[in-house]
Structures are given as structure tokens and as C-alpha cells.
Structure 1
Amino acid sequence: MPNSMVFSDVDETVIRIKSMFRFLEFYLSRRGEPAGTYDRLLGEIRRGADSGVPRQEINRRYYRFYAGEEADRLAAVGKDWFAHESERGLFVPETRHALDAHAAAGEPLVLISGSFFACLDPIAEATGAEWAIGTRPVIRRGRLTGEVLVPMIGAAKGRAVRVAAAVRGVDLADCTAYGDHISDLDLLGAVGHPVVVGADPALNAHAREAGWRRLPVDDVPFGELETA
């Protein structure tokens, strides 16, 4: 059994994009919605964020868009979405290379994200991740209710890391984590080898003070609206 694990945020850490929003756009198109529907829904989310609504609540609001949708259909659309995005070059090469090195050393990968199964399951399969821990929508009789259990945001990511390490019996001091945004601070701070990906000014400032490793990446813009 390995004595260490690797934990990683997903959006703009492992992949170049914000999966929840790109999936929503793809899903609405598949459903035959008018082109303006995505802009309207994204506008609702953005207005909430701009008015100071906490990220956890923004995350919850996003999943209400899927109320009544069949979980199996979302999973199927997720596979198609992943194939579509992969044609454009989905993964961050620098992070993917680092994760492949961990895999070669026999260290299991756990993805931790505010995104959900439709996006995370195909990404986990492609990266060889052992687990994908995301926000869990409430499902009743095969359909999403629009509510979630716990948004996998901020401190929840740190708790997930500690639980996963305890289940596997590994010492967090020997583990590595990757994250790109200041909201990943609890995730990164839970392990002995944190790695900051990309250009978030607040997170990079913390990394410099703490002596954390930084992984510069190309062509992944720092995003303002963070829900994952």
C-alpha cells in the first residue's frame, strides 16, 4: 500500500477551464435551449457573486439549474462534453505532467472539486484518479432535486483531504496537493507538499511567504468567478 497520496483541485488546475460553466453551456445546447439561456443563467450567478454572496451559496445556486434532470442523462451528456472539450486541448500540460510523475511513483490521485459527477467522472477516468470527490447533488428516484449535500468549496476541501488520508492510512505530511485559487488554501494547507498552480495573486503571495512550491502554467487565465 502506498504511504502517500496526491490531491488536486480540478478547474484551472488540472484542466484549463471552469468545468461547471462550460458543461452548463453544452448541456443547455443539447437540450435545445435558445442561445441566450446560458448568458441569462450565468448572469444570475455573476450578479450574486458581485453582490458578495458566499462561494458556497453560489455553488448551491448553480445546481438548482438541474432540478428535475435525470442523473443518468447528465452522466451521458458529461461523457460527450468531455470528448468535445478534449478536442480543444482540455488539460493543463504542466499539471498533467506532474500528476503522471506521481502516478509512475505509485501515488494514488484524488480529485477534489466543487464540480460534480457529470464533469468529474470522465476527468477522473482520463487521469487515472482513484477518487473524484465533488459537490454531491441530492438525487431522488433518479433525478436531481436541485439541492446539494455539502458544497465542496473552501474548508470542505481540507476536510475531504483529511478524511481520505485517514481512510487510506497515509500521513498527510508525506502527501502532495495542487490548487490554483485562494479558495484552495485549506486543501493545500492540509498536506506536507503543497503546490500552487498558476497566477492567483493572493495564493501566490501566500506561497512565497510559506515557502510553498509554485508551478507556473501557460494559457490558463486567472478567473474571477470561482465556484469550484
Structure 2
Amino acid sequence: MPSTPASRTAAAFFDVDETLITFKSMFDFYDYFLDAVGHSPEEQERLRADARSLLRPGMPRQQGNRLFYRRFTGYAEAEVAKHGAAWFEHHMAQGGVFNEDVLAALREHTAAGLTTVLVSGSFSACLDPIARYVGADVTLCTRLEVRDGVYTGEVLRTMIGDAKAGSARELIEEWGVPAADCHAYGDHTSDLELLRLVGHPVVVGDNADLVAEAEKHGWRRLAGTLAL
């Protein structure tokens, strides 16, 4: 578990997909990856549809998360990371990657000396280039099993729902920082426990359940805005 620099007195936790960035990284990256590794257009269409079927109602999010990552079985971790870096560069060239109001908040926290933490059900191939770009200090994400440099298809740790709050709580306790001084940003009901953990929760976007919580408790809200 990473240690916070002594000069930092609190942390700011950011969900990534549709909070810090404007899309779902793991599915978007998978679309890019299928093309990059040479699947035919017909195979890409079939595999994309199959992947998105994991989002169907009734599928537990943790189960869907584990099933999704089996798709990388047999691929070298370094190869997938290379494609992740290229995927991010491709998106940056197109623009529209970040919700600019959330990115501005992250940079304000960094300037104020807070430790910035990305928390996501996505995995390192997607998140590492994002973390480098925004200068995040720590990334908490789904961790895949690797043997001899190759993904086995097993997931060692998911970072979905309550796992986000649990991992954030562990860091807060390890670092000895007051939860009341910490911030958290999320867009989905699966982020609710993370938001409740800290003293300064911020709801991003217009999820009805989160908006109701924000109005009830006086939480800050951000629209999640693209740069014009």
C-alpha cells in the first residue's frame, strides 16, 4: 500500500469513468484493443457486443468486472500496457477526454498539497496513462493476475462499489489523515459509499439518486463539463 508524503494532510479521491473522464475506459479501450491486435471487423463487432452484454440489468457489477477481464487471458501485460498508452494518445489527439471541471478540481487539490487518488474498476493499462497525465499520486484499481509477464484471466482484486470505499478507508487510516478533511468525486450510485466516507463529497453529473443525496446533505455538485 502506498505511503502519503509527509507534507500532505488530506486526500482527494476521484472515480475515473464518467467522472474524471467522459467515457467508460475499460470498454472503450477494449474496442481499440480488438482492432490493434488484428481482429477482423466481424470479430470486433461480435466481441464488442459480447463485452457490453456484461452491463445488462441483473448482472452483478463485480461478476461482470471479473468476466470482462478474462478477455485478456494469454496476452502479455507489457503488450496490453503499450496498447493502453497508444489508446490514450489517440483520445488526447481527438480531444474531449476529460470533464474539465473535475480535472480543474484535481489540479486545485494538487496545488493545495492534497494527495490525489484515482479509484476505478478499470485496470492499469487504461489508468496508468491517465494518472501520469493528471499527475495523480496513487491509483486504486482492479488488479489482474500475471504469471511470467502474461495475464492469466484471473482477477486478484476488483475495485467496484463498496471496494472503492473500503480501499480509500484503508489509505486514510494508514496515512493517519482525517476523513473529514478528505474529498471524493463520483458520478454513479456505486460511488455512494466513497462519497459518504469523506467530509467533502462532490457529485458529478445528474444521476438522480446522487443528486437527491447531494440535495439532502448539501453536497457540492459539478456538471462534468467538456472544454468548448
TM-score normalized with structure 2 length: 0.92
Cα RMSD (Å): 1.5
CA distance in 2, matches of 1:128, 1:219: 19
Aligned letter for 1:116? F
Alignment partner of 2:164 out of 157, 164, 176: 157
Secondary structure of the corresponding residue to residue 94 of structure 2: coil
CA distance in 1, matches of 2:53, 2:79: 29
Secondary structure of the corresponding residue to residue 215 of structure 2: helix
Could you tell me whether the CA contact under 8 Å between 1:24 and 1:38 is conserved in 2?
no
Is 1:195 the counterpart of 2:202? The answer is yes
Structure 1 residues 202 and 2, CA gap change in structure 2 (3 angstroms): same
Q: How high is the sequence identity, in percent, across the aligned residues?
A: 45
Aligned letter for 1:113? S
Task: List gaps (5 residues or longer) in structure 2.
Answer: 1-6
4+ residue segments displaced more than 4 Å: none
Q: Give the aligned partner of residue 152 of structure 2.
A: 145
Is 1:85 the counterpart of 2:78? The answer is no
Aligned letter for 1:17? F
CA distance in 1, matches of 2:72, 2:218: 42
CA distance in 1, matches of 2:61, 2:45: 20
Deviation by residue 1:124-169 (Cα, 9 ceiling, x = unmatched): 1111111111000111111111110121000000011111112222
- Deviation of 1:50 after TM superposition, in Å, equals 2.4
Alignment partner of 2:55 out of 43, 49, 56: 49
Is 1:35 the counterpart of 2:35? The answer is no
Please list, as runs of the form range in 1=range in 2, the aligned pairs for 1:48-197 lying within 5 A after superposition: 48-89=54-95, 90-197=97-204
Aligned letter for 1:69? Y
Deviation by residue 1:51-102 (Cα, 9 ceiling, x = unmatched): 5110011111110110011001111111111100111221111101111111
Task: List gaps (5 residues or longer) in structure 1.
Answer: 221-228
- Deviation of 1:219 after TM superposition, in Å, equals 5.6
Aligned length: 220
TM-score normalized with structure 1 length: 0.92
Secondary structure of the corresponding residue to residue 198 of structure 2: coil
- Deviation of 1:6 after TM superposition, in Å, equals 0.5
Secondary structure of the corresponding residue to residue 125 of structure 1: helix
Could you tell me whether the CA contact under 8 Å between 2:31 and 2:48 is conserved in 1?
no
